[in-house]
């Protein structure tokens, strides 16, 4: 069993990504399905998310982790893995662990653990930059659904591609926020390349595929999940459905991805074909 952090990000590439404050270039085929401004002016949910990540990081430090990247026993107990062993003696697995062993909480807790100060610093910086704008647009309840759905999609991606690698980090959820921002801007006639979010996504994907020890499944799963959720809620709003319908979609999507992650963990030997 080996440990792979979900990844790092480039803060200098963020640029101006705040939805509703960009220079707009009309290139989309239709106008925005909803207003760019939401009644909630003071984002609370993203602050709670960041506080939970910070608390988990301090907890890992108190349990033997380090600022340089080691998570200690906390990572072993709460990181995401489909199936693994604390030790292997001969051909015998000693201390089997993972989602396949009934430890379903790993699908969630892993996204609040980080391998070092740089890891959590970059993730939380991007989470704030993107989440602050998205929560102002969608409101706290729907934003939490979007974040949770992205997190769940990232966990599913990990268990589909690398189910036996111990994986931690909020990058799957953060990639989901990037994907959601791209979709929201596109559907409102804002060119993602002009706003900077398109470049941010490309740079992060280059890091994903170009550096070892980064979870490709977590990043791609989160990115696609967040984009899909943003498209779903925008479509629901554009069709005049009650807001609670679009909001419920985000949580239903999250539950579906969590269920898919449990299935993938049970097929850890060959999750795509098993």
Beta-sheet strands, E only, within 100-185: 166-168
DSSP, collapsed to helix, strand or coil, labels residue 223 as helix
Cβ-proximal residues to 179 (8 Å cutoff; 6+ apart), any chain: 150, 201, 222, 223, 224, 225, 226, 227, 228, 230
* DSSP structural state of residue 35: -
Helices (H) and strands (E) in the chain, counts: 10, 4
Q: Give burial (CB, 10 Å; 0-12/13-18/19+) of 147.
A: buried
Has 171 been annotated as catalytic? yes
Q: Report the length, in residues, of the chain.
A: 274
DSSP symbols for 225-253: HHHHHHHHHHHHHHTT--HHHHHHHHHHH
Bridge partners of 3, per DSSP, are 166
* DSSP structural state of residue 80: B
Has 2 been annotated as catalytic? no
Catalytic residue, candidates 171, 195, 215, 265: 171
Catalytic residue, candidates 155, 184, 219, 265: 219
Reference 19, options 250, 183, 152, 231; nearest CA is: 183
Beta-sheet strands, E only, within 66-207: 84-89, 92-97, 166-168
Which amino acids are annotated catalytic? 171, 219
């Amino acid at each position: 069993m080996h440990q792979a952090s979900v990844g790092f990000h480039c803060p200098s590439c963020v640029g101006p990504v705040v939805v509703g404050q960009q220079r707009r270039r009309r290139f989309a085929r239709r106008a925005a399905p909803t207003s760019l401004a939401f009644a909630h002016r003071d984002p609370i949910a993203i602050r709670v998310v960041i506080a939970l990540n910070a608390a988990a990081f301090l907890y890992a430090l108190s349990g033997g982790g380090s600022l340089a990247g080691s998570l200690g026993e906390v990572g072993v107990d709460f990181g995401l893995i489909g199936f693994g062993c604390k030790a292997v003696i001969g051909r015998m697995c000693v201390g089997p662990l993972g989602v396949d062993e009934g430890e379903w909480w790993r699908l969630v807790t892993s996204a609040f653990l980080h391998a070092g100060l740089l890891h959590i610093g970059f993730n939380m910086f991007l989470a704030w930059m993107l989440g602050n704008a998205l929560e102002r647009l969608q409101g706290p309840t729907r934003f939490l659904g979007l974040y949770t759905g992205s997190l769940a999609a990232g966990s599913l991606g990990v268990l589909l591609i690398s189910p036996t690698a111990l994986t931690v980090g909020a990058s799957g959820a953060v990639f989901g926020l990037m994907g959601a921002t791209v979709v929201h801007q596109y559907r409102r006639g804002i060119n993602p390349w002009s706003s900077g979010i398109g470049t941010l996504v490309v740079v992060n994907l280059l890091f994903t595929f170009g550096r070892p020890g980064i979870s490709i499944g977590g990043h791609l799963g989160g990115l696609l999940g967040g984009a899909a959720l943003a498209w779903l809620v925008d479509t629901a709003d554009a069709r005049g459905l009650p807001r609670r319908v679009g909001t419920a979609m985000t949580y239903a999507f999250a539950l579906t991805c969590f269920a898919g992650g449990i299935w993938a963990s049970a097929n850890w030997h060959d999750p795509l074909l098993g």
